[in-house]
Amino acid sequence: MPPVPPAVAVDGVSKTFRLPHERVHTLKERALHPLRRAGVEAFPALKDVSFAVDNGEFFGIVGRNGSGKSTLLKCLAGIYGADRGRIFINGRLSTFIELGVGFNNDLPARDNVMINATMLGLSPREARNRYDSVIDFAELREFEDLKLKNYSSGMEVRLAFSVMMHVDAEVMLIDEVLAVGDASFQQKCFDEFARIRRDGKTVLLVTHDMGSVQRFCDRAMLLERGDVVEVGDPEHVAARYLEINFNRGEVEAPHDESESSRHGDRRAEIVDAWFEDETGARAATVRGAGEHMTFCFRAQFREALTDPLFGVVIADDRGTVVFEASNLLRGASGTFAAGEETTVRIGFDNVLSSGRYEATPAIAHSGSGSAWIDRRERFATVVVTAARATDAVLDLPFELEIGPKARPGGSSSEEARPGGSRSGGSA
């Protein structure tokens, strides 16, 4: 194999921040407490991270807040020095941690373009030569003499993005710049990313947005608490990301055990509830896209009961009920003696979109809907990882067909435009 060096090589990089508990800022404090070193807590932001990005690759770096992805980017950019490990970059590097670094509100576009381009590594002569195409790309020719403070935020972003596109970097480090701008500008960014890809430039993109990871990245890496959890196929990494993200959510929102969320006369009690995946194993995470899953709960009977109703309500994390099921109209459940126990299983094909769902199981007296025996709100949770990023509740399979062109009649054809959808992952 010919030794083609990778565009970016990261070898065992670690970075630890020393976070003072109590910041000593003034000389008086130093003088009064010369021996007291403010308590320092070591916070390992990156732990022995290694990976390589090939030339021309579009590489995504994903992770939750605080996972170390921005620190990694700053180490790559040379803003932070790594404590251990080595980083190699092959080619002209440009960093876009923020659009418009060095922009100044009191200066007109021309000065700002010059400053920004110089900061990004152009010489003043190069910056001057490219000024016209920067302004034209940003479509701001008629506003070029306006001070930046009189620009709308969208115009400012356009200017900044335009400079960034004219720096001619071979390796680009980009941190969530897509999060700004209106939909049409985002579309322009996406188009521009597509062009960068075609030009064979190497891009490292840090993002929360699984949609853009899946759309642009050839490969992606998932960071979690400074460790590399996974490197590989973007679909796979995106699924892992959702899994990790929501599992943490489960810890934060534990089963609601309080009495106020429990109703009923307790002649029977729901003692346990859980979800099972396609294989029948208990699971905190299940796959969507039509795979079979089962909600189960176990009930203990204190008194003899005849034909109680068993049911469940499943709601998403916004509280919208997405699914209800019970044995009402499905036949009587029979008689149960005091001390007996039973398990209720409700199976269905899972077409829910990605996200966290909560189940409220209930037992009620037959005949009426609200004479509860025991109803436990939000008693079990499950995380669904669907393949597609969508904001909708359901992720249904669908066909889409664009009909033959027809002139009269006035019916506009459905445009199959891939909108910049944000996945439910950032909830």
Partner 1 sequence: MSALETPPSAGLGRQIKGPSAVGSDPRRFWHLTRALAVTEFKLRFFGSVLGYAWQVMRPLLLFGVLYILFTQVIDVGTDTPLYGVALLLGLVLYTFLSEATGAAVSSVVDRENLVRKIEFPRLAVPLSVVLTALFNLGLNLGVVVVFLLASGGSVRWSWLEMIPLIVLLAILASGLAMLLSALFVRARDVKPIWDVVLQILFYGTPIFYTIETVQSSAPTWVAKALMLNPFAAILQQARHAVVDPEYVSASSAIGPAWRLIIPLAIVFGVFGLGYAVFRRAAPRLAEDL
| Binding segment toward partner 1, per CB under 8 A, in 6-14, 326-334, 380-388, 404-412 | 6-14
User: Which residues does residue 341 pair with via DSSP β-bridges, in sequence order?
Assistant: 300
**C-alpha separations of 414 from 115, 188, 400, 405, 419 in Å:** 45, 21, 9, 11, 13
Given a contact cutoff of 8 angstroms between Cβ atoms, the answer to whether 127 and 167 are in contact is no
> Does 233 interact with partner 1 (rule: CB under 8 A)?
no
> Does 230 interact with partner 1 (rule: CB under 8 A)?
no
Residue 1 is which amino acid? M
For tokens 């993200």, name the residue: 245
C-alpha torsion sign, points 265, 267, 271, 277: negative
Interface characters, 105-144, with partner 1 (x: CB under 8 A): -xx---x--xx--xxxx-xx--------------------
Within residues 77-106, the interface with partner 1 by CB under 8 A covers 77-82, 86-91, 93, 95, 97-98, 101-102, 104, 106
For tokens 């190699």, name the residue: 88
> Does 5 interact with partner 1 (rule: CB under 8 A)?
yes
Q: Of the two residues 11 and 218, which places its CB atom closer to partner 1 in the complex? A: 11
Task: Please report how the helices 153-165 and 124-138 are oriented relative to each other, as an axis angle in degrees rounded to 10.
Answer: 130
With CB under 8 A as the rule, give the number of residues binding partner 1: 48
Question: DSSP code of 199?
Answer: T
Q: Of the two residues 81 and 408, which places its CB atom closer to partner 1 in the complex? A: 81
Write down the least CB distance from residue 147 to partner 1, Å.
Answer: 9
> Does 28 interact with partner 1 (rule: CB under 8 A)?
yes
**C-alpha separations of 312 from 40, 259, 260, 304, 328 in Å:** 50, 19, 18, 22, 11
Strands (E) in 90-136, as ranges, are: 93-96
Q: Of the two residues 84 and 330, which places its CB atom closer to partner 1 in the complex? A: 84
| Binding segment toward partner 1, per CB under 8 A, in 73-81, 203-211, 304-312, 355-363 | 73-81
Residue 230 burial (C-beta neighbours within 10 Å; 0-12, 13-18, 19+): middle
Q: Of the two residues 26 and 368, which places its CB atom closer to partner 1 in the complex? A: 26
Q: Of the two residues 7 and 363, which places its CB atom closer to partner 1 in the complex? A: 7
Residue 192 burial (C-beta neighbours within 10 Å; 0-12, 13-18, 19+): middle
Pair of tokens at residue 427: 């909830």
Strands (E) in 233-282, as ranges, are: 262-263, 268-276
* Residue selected from 17, 43, 185, 190 as contacting partner 1 according to rule CB under 8 A: 17
> Does 50 interact with partner 1 (rule: CB under 8 A)?
yes
Pair of tokens at residue 220: 């992606």
> Does 186 interact with partner 1 (rule: CB under 8 A)?
no
Write down the least CB distance from residue 75 to partner 1, Å.
Answer: 7
> Does 44 interact with partner 1 (rule: CB under 8 A)?
no
Residues near partner 1, by CB under 8 A: 3, 5-7, 9, 11, 17, 25-28, 30, 50-52, 74-82, 86-91, 93, 95, 97-98, 101-102, 104, 106-107, 111, 114-115, 118-121, 123-124
